[in-house]
Amino acid sequence: MLPFVIRRCLAAVCLALAVATGAAVAQSPEGGKAPLPADLDPVAVDSLLSRMTDAEIRALLRDELRRRADERAAAEAAASDQPRIGMRDRLTGLAGTIGDRLSDWAGAIGRLGERRGEIDARLARAEHGPLAMLAATLAVGLAGVLAAAAVGRATRGWREWLMTAPAGSADRAGYWDRVVRTLALGLVELTPIGAFDLATVSTAPLLAGTLGPMVDYVWIYEVGVIYSWGFIVLTRRAFAPDAPALRIAQMSDSAATAISGLLRRAAQIGGAGWLVAGLSPTFGLGFPPALATVTLAGTAVAGLLLGAAVRNWGALRAAMAGLLTGAEAAPGLPARMLVAAAPLALAGYVVFAWAYWAALWITTGQQHLYGPAGTLLVLLSLPIFDRLGLELCSGMIRGASPAGERYRAVLHGTWRMLAGLAAVLVIAWLWGIDLYALAKGPGAPGWADAAFDIAITLLLANFVWRLIRAALHRDRHSAADGAEEGGETAAASRLDTLVPLFRNLLLVILSVVVAMILLAALGVNIGPLLASAGIVGIAIGFGAQTLVRDIFSGAFFLLDDAFRVGEYIELDNKVRGEVEAISIRSLQLRHHRGPVITIPFGELKSVFNHNRDWAIYKMNFRLEPETDPDLVKRLVKEVGQALLAHPEHGSKFLEPLKSQGIYMIDDDSALVIRVKFKCKPRAQFVLRREVYHRLRNAFAANGLEFARRKVEVVTETETPRGLSPAVAGAASLAGAIAGDPPGTSG
């Protein structure tokens, strides 16, 4: 047996279902079928439950559930048998409905004279006649206006103080001060509206008898004035045409004045149409005149906006260009296409929004303004949020360094992307579309889910890659600049060498990760791909040992800081040149005669770097044996001091030119004197020319001559003692060749 409480609950559910759907049959205790009473009360329910068994309760529940299932199946079958209505048929039916409704309105307006009795009945509600009703209506309106004027006069000092921007409003602190002042000024300007509302709703009940039918009009009047007035205040504070120093949107004074004025006129037309339309049902004229009046007002607003879009075609393009490209001098093709299509898209949207609103208003009599008006407001507020994002990014990253500018550009671009996505989501929500539910909801198609994941992945990958580029961006520094400017630029030169490799490595990693995520989003099982990639990597490692050796050798060369881009190096096989580029497996040298030499890292043994720290250059001079070494030393010192004082060459010396004295005496008895100097790397090739030139002039001015190479022959005419006649004859022949006459004595 079921517990008594559960049994009572099940029976109550079954009886409720049966009574609600007309099922008046139940099993009787004797096994027959008897109709249920039509008016079951709690006493009858308790009496019936006391006579039913568990089997009877189950049978009743089974029959009811089966009946509901049959009804649902029949409804689905009937729906499937009905032909699907196409878009053309829907539009045709909508046009027919609109035509019928407009015809009904025209007929009702033409028969307004027949509503004389209704009008008299409404006017009869005024206790003191129409003139008193008119006076009471003016009194209610005047009470609201006087209350608003009093509050406005009381808050005038606050408004003037808030509209006075402080000095230095162009900086970041000034911007946030303008934001706070704008919000505070908006709240202050909304207080008269609150006073108007309070005075209106407080005065109307006091004059209810005199107002008569106008009592019903008070809420229409109140809503129309408050909404229109509040919208005008919000647009005035958003674009600040009366206070340019407080403007938080990036636009000129003329643009702010034009947009604010346009929206103010649209709000005034809409509010006036609402107030005039409200008089029709109030005085018994019916709803068709009111509906027609609102339709005309909405059409006038749409025409106003469309005319403004056509008149400001070029300004709309310029505004869209500033919003999409910012300070970029050369926007991309998608940005140029959007800029070119922006005015046409805005004009088309105004026409579409008006048609959508008018069709629903005429057919249903309901205001569907969230989508049409909300979308326009979201688009107009984008410049404000764009400036807000710029200030937030500037506040997060301060300073005027190039790195800070790059990070700010990345964050601002990301803010713009997020603001655009948020605008799309908000606009879709205003139109009654939940994009997230369409993509990730229970009934979402698989392609929408995959497209959503792919879009999010690509956006995140783009953000990460832009951060990587901003962090690893390097301006090219030459090695010669690094030698001249010291260790800071030398470190920058090393970063110029390593950063491209790190950036390319991170790009490869990011591309692989994004590719795997995209494949997973498309439904591909990436587990086998990862396993296959590992196996392929091992196979490549065994099959490409030379490549692996080049890669690892290059990595350790770079970690050891053996060379950098722009440095002049010499390899062990006498190959020399300036490092022009470094890849993952090789380096390229630019020979001083022009050719480019590509060398794998694995072939490098030893590297002679001519660009590190300093260089010592030694120079040899061959002078005559009679040269005074002390004089040479003094002349070298004077030339060295003159070179240190030279405006162009002096900064290249680390130690002055000095003489090392006599280095050696060669076979010609010439004195080989060596001089040396210490200079910055790669400056020795320029300095040596200047040193040679100055020392040559100094030696010549002091009578010092360079030793010349010579051959000396010594001859003798007499035969020395101990020499044989043959040897003496050979000596005489040599003397004759040298020009000595025969027979002369040495």
Considering 66-80, 494-508, 637-651, the range whose residues carry the highest mean pLDDT is: 637-651
Compute CA distances 106 → 102, 206, 292, whole Å: 6, 38, 9
Q: What is the pLDDT of residue 147?
A: 93
Q: Beginning with the edge strand found earlier in the chain, give each strand of the sheet holding 615-623 in spatial order.
A: 615-623, 671-679, 653-665
* 73's tokens: 């199946």
For residue 215, pLDDT over 60 is answered with: yes
Q: What is the mean pLDDT of residues 611-630?
A: 85
Helix axes 156-163, 129-154, angle to 10 degrees: 50
Residue 463 has pLDDT above 60, yes or no: yes
Give the chain's radius of gyration (CA, Å). Answer: 49
pLDDT at position 182, please? 87
* Position with higher pLDDT, 531 vs 348: 348
Q: Which amino acid is at 237?
A: R
| pLDDT higher than threshold 50 for residue 391 | yes
Which of 737 and 203 is assigned the larger pLDDT? 203
Q: What is the mean pLDDT of residues 509-529?
A: 80
pLDDT mean over 364-385: 80
What is the distance between the terminal CA atoms of the chain, rounded to a whole angstrom?
A: 157
Q: What is the mean pLDDT of residues 133-138?
A: 91
Q: Which residues of 545-570 are buried (b: 16+ CB within 10 A; e: fewer)?
A: eeeeebbebbeebbeeebbbbbbbbe
Q: What is the CA angle 267-269-272, rounded to 5?
A: 105
Residue 189 confidence class, pLDDT cut points 50, 70, 90: very high
Tell me the one-letter amino acid at 57: I
Q: Is the dihedral of CA 22, 27, 31, 35 positive or negative?
A: negative
**578: β partners:** 568, 590
Least confident of 78-87, 295-304, 440-449: 78-87
Tokens of 398: 């301060």
Q: Is the pLDDT of residue 443 over 80?
A: no
Range in 80-84, 143-147, 346-350, 552-556 with the lowest mean pLDDT: 80-84
**CA–CA gap between residue 746 and residue 732 (Å, rounded):** 11
Contact status, residue 450 vs residue 523, Cβ threshold 8 Å: yes
* Region of 724 on the Ramachandran plot (φ > 0 left; ψ -120 to 50 alpha; else beta): beta
- Across 347-372, average pLDDT: 84
pLDDT at 494: 55
Residues in the chain, overall count: 746
CA dihedral 551, 557, 559, 561 (to 10 degrees): -150
* Phi, psi (degrees; rounded to nearest 5) at 712: -120, 125
Report pLDDT digits (tens) over 276-316. Answer: 988 888 888 888 888 888 889 999 999 998 998 888 888 77
0.75 exceeded by pTM: no
